[in-house]
Amino acid sequence: MSITDDPSYGSATPPVPHPEAPAPGTVLPSHFLRCYGCGPEHPAGLHMAVTVGDGASVHARLQVTEQHQGAAGIAHGGLLSCALDEALGSAALLLGRPAVTARLETDFCAPVTVGSELHIHARCTGVAGRKVYLAAEARVGGAEGPVAVRATALFLTVDLTHFAVHGDTTQHRSDPGFAAVRRTFGVA
């Protein structure tokens, strides 16, 4: 079943960014310094730069390096899916409720070569209860370049206790990025 086949998809309401969401043009700090997607302290991470766009959307960039190869000179498809998932999660975060990936559908339209800069635009497309629907496109060579990867996603909002129950609370407590997320959501 596709995300658009989900019974709630047709009744989803337009997304509304949280009143305290960062303004368009703001570079989002990492939500966790050791996050594989956006964390500057992850030694093998993607180190993506994410900027707030209009509405509930973000723009992200990924410099594709030799560490990202699947086949010689070509980015690994799973890694590209990961990059879009990170951008989609950043867009969902603008709603002011933590959310986790429930389903991710990725379409690969063209190979992404080592040395390319991938420009990702991710946006929330609707909300239905705990369900957040999102879509993203990744383009090569600029924000208006050819589409290389598309994704749609279903995220589910969770309470911050989700991360306490399933994650490492010692790391969460000491991480300034996660502390900022807690403040945004009014959790001490």
pLDDT in tens, 36-61: 888 888 888 898 989 999 999 999 99
What pLDDT does residue 6 have?
77
Cα 177 from Cα 112, distance rounded (Å): 30
Q: Per 3-state DSSP, what percentage of the chain is helix, strand, and coil (rounded to 5)?
A: 25, 35, 40
Q: Does position 5 have pLDDT exceeding 90, yes or no? A: no
**Tens digits of per-residue pLDDT, 162-171?**
555 565 556 5
Mean pLDDT of the chain: 87
Q: Which amino acid is at 116?
A: S
For residue range 52-103, what is the model confidence (pLDDT) as tens digits? 999 999 999 999 999 989 999 999 999 999 999 999 999 999 998 889 999 9
Task: Give the strands of the sheet with 57-63, arranged side by side.
Answer: 49-52, 57-63, 117-128, 131-140, 147-157, 99-108
What's the CA angle centered on 117, arms 112 and 119, to 5 degrees?
95
The vertex-145 CA angle with 144 and 146, nearest 5°, equals 125
Contact 172, 120 (CB under 8 A): no
- Residue-range domains of the chain with CATH: 3-184 (3.10.129.10)
